[in-house]
Structures are given as C-alpha cells and as structure tokens.
Amino acid sequence: MNNPISSQPLHADALKSWRAGMRGLEQASELTGLAYADSGTLTWSQQPLFYRVNRLHVLALGKTAHQLARAATLRLGGRIETGFAVTLTGKSLGRPWSVFRGGHPTVTRESLIAGAALQQWLADLGPNDHLLVLMSGGASAMVEIPSPGWSLERLAQARAQDLSAGLSIAHINQRAAQRSLSKDGRLAHRTPCAWKQLTLNDVGDAVNGCVSSGPFLGLNGDGLTIANHRTAARAATHQLTALGYRVFQAPTLKGEARSVGAGLNIPKGYNALVASGETTVVGPYQGVGGRNLELVGGWILDGQPPPSWSLVSGAADGCDGNSGAAGAYYSSDDQPELGALKAAMERHDSGTWFAKSARLLTLSEPVSHTGDLLVLVSSKGL
C-alpha cells in the first residue's frame, strides 16, 4: 500500500474527528438538560418530567450507569432522596447511592444479586415518590430476575449462543426478555410510583425500549433520548467539515462486519465518510477480536480504497469484543501482511494481528455506550 501522497495528515484528521465524536457523546452524557425549576418541576431539555416533585429517587442501569449517576448527582445534588446503580465496576458513588456490580456480557451471579436488590429497592418506594430512570446498554446482562426454570447456567449459555450467532443487539435483547421477570416492562410493573426514563441508546435506529431489553419502557416503548450513535456521528462530521472535508454521512452501520468493511465507499464529490451504528460478527470465536477490528480488516483485504486514505473505527464504550481495545485504525501508508491478516480473520483473531501491527485504537476514559463510530478520509485534493 505504498503511495506517493503520505497518509499521515489524513490519519491525524481522521483520529481527531473520531475523538471529537467521543467528546460529543461525553457532553451529552453530562445530562446538561436536566434541571429543577423553582416550582419544583423536574425538566429535561425544558420538557417537564415531573411536576411538584415530592421525594425523587434515581435509578441508573447499564454500562454507562456510573457516569450517568455522577452526572445526575452533579445536576440534582441533595434533591436526590436515594439512588440505586448497577455498574460494570461496582465502584462507590457516595451518598445517597447504593451501588451493585453487574455481570457482562453474560449473566453472572452478580447480575442475580443486583436484580434481587433492585426488586426490593423498587418495592420500598412510596406511591407519592418519583423515580427517574437513567438507562444505558448492557443492563440486559447486568441485572437479572430469571423466569421460573431458568438457572444461571442456562441464562449464561443462552446469552453466549445469541452472541455467537451474530444477532443484532436489539434481537439479542428481545430473546433475553423471554427468559426474564425484569425485562420488557416488568420492572415498571414492580414500581409503585410515577417514573420517567432517559435513555442512552445503543441499538442503532431501534426504539429506546430495545435498550437493555426494556425493563421499564417495554420492548416497543420509546421515551426521551440522552444520546445515540448519531450524536457521535454529528460531532465527527462537524469536526471534519471544520477541517475542510466534504463529508458523506453514510447509512447506519449494520450487518456482518467484514462485509460492511469491504463495501465502504466514499461517493463521488466527497472526500470523507462518517458512519455509526453497530455491526455483528458470526462465531464461533477462536481468538481475540471485535466487530470494528473485523470491519477494518475487511476494508484492508477486500475494499476498493482510493490512492491515499485513513480509516478509524471504534466502539464508544472502549470495548470492541474481547480485543481489549476500542477498535482499530489503518492508513494507505501501512504495509499489511495480507496472508497473515486473512488467516487471522478466518480464526476471528483480528485483535492479535492488529496488536502486532500496533494499530489498535484505545479509549482511555470510555464515556458512553451508543455503538460504533467510523471515519474514513481520502486526499483533500480528490
């Protein structure tokens, strides 16, 4: 992939724009639209959530629960009577929060403990209380109240099978709801007071109810959105435009990752492409990798690149499969060992190959979980 035009400036622009997308998500996750009016009304982006709030309780669930709970505490402070959070780490949030660690990506004993504790916490709420739910992706595995007959082992096995089948996250969450007493609106039925949900959506263009299998909204519910994959795409597009690129905003990323990568194309009249969403990888998995790694690998092996280019693709939560990285990047100046990459892709071991190539994309402080962001740029002169 030697080219007379260096791709180093292109890579700098692509990476800068990808990180601008992450900053856009971070800003949205700070819940700047959440506020109390003097009348005691709680609002989101000036839209009333509750009038004359009595006792406010906040529930934060999912892979971004810790960040959302911190943001709610910053915005609402002492107005929060109690808080309950299920996070990836179980790290303390201080008063008035009760924090549990949830299992992910499959259900664990910690998920069951968190589910039982949440069930009791909801039961203790009074009919005149108000509950604000902050939902993000991942809670489908992190919090569980199993249906009768579903042991922890069966739940974990079923989840692993769904993941290895290459199903979309929306489809996986729908299947998980069939095995649970905490999904598809069932937590709402256990809540004795008025509640509202704000959602960090990680399921592409699906409704907010699909996020974490819809424990409150139900699988077909919608409600109010904090951010989604398009939030990152808009911020990246804005950055690229400021750098002088003509940006094509591609349709939502979906489908088998390698094929999506091979089919990437910057249309005539543009010199940059931004896409967001989430692809899938069909198992069985024999190595270390993730959907973004396989997408970039598909582009390297089977794409139709322009003479000079740079591609960055990564997950907003900093976790692409089991790779230990957010994703990968590559440019036309790089010299890939195509035979080794092809063999690695066949084993779903793309992470090992990109690590040896020193082209893994890292995200030191993941801020949200809304899916993936891809930035592809070509020479500005084209």
| H or E element, residue 321 | none
- Specify the CATH superfamily of domain 31-227: Glycerate kinase, MOFRL-like N-terminal domain (3.40.50.10180)
In the DSSP assignment, the letter for residue 138 is T
Mean pLDDT of 132-142: 94
Mean pLDDT of 201-217: 92
Mean pLDDT of 342-346: 95
Average pLDDT, the chain: 93
Other Cβ atoms closer than 10 A to 192: 15
Residue 152 above 70 pLDDT? Answer: yes
Strands (E), the chain: 34-36, 42-44, 47-50, 56-61, 80-87, 97-101, 130-136, 194-200, 224-227, 247-249, 272-277, 309-315, 327-331, 360-361, 372-378
Residue 344 above 50 pLDDT? Answer: yes
**To the nearest whole percent, how much of the chain has pLDDT over 90?**
79
pLDDT confidence band for 2 (50 / 70 / 90): very low
Predicted confidence (pLDDT) per residue in 217-244, tens digit: 999 999 999 999 999 999 999 999 999 9
pTM score: 0.87
pLDDT confidence band for 4 (50 / 70 / 90): very low
| CATH of the domain spanning 8-25+230-378 | 3.40.1480.10
**To the nearest whole percent, how much of the chain has pLDDT over 70?**
97
Mean pLDDT of 182-194: 96
Please state the domain extents for the chain.
8-25+230-378, 31-227
Mean pLDDT of 167-180: 85
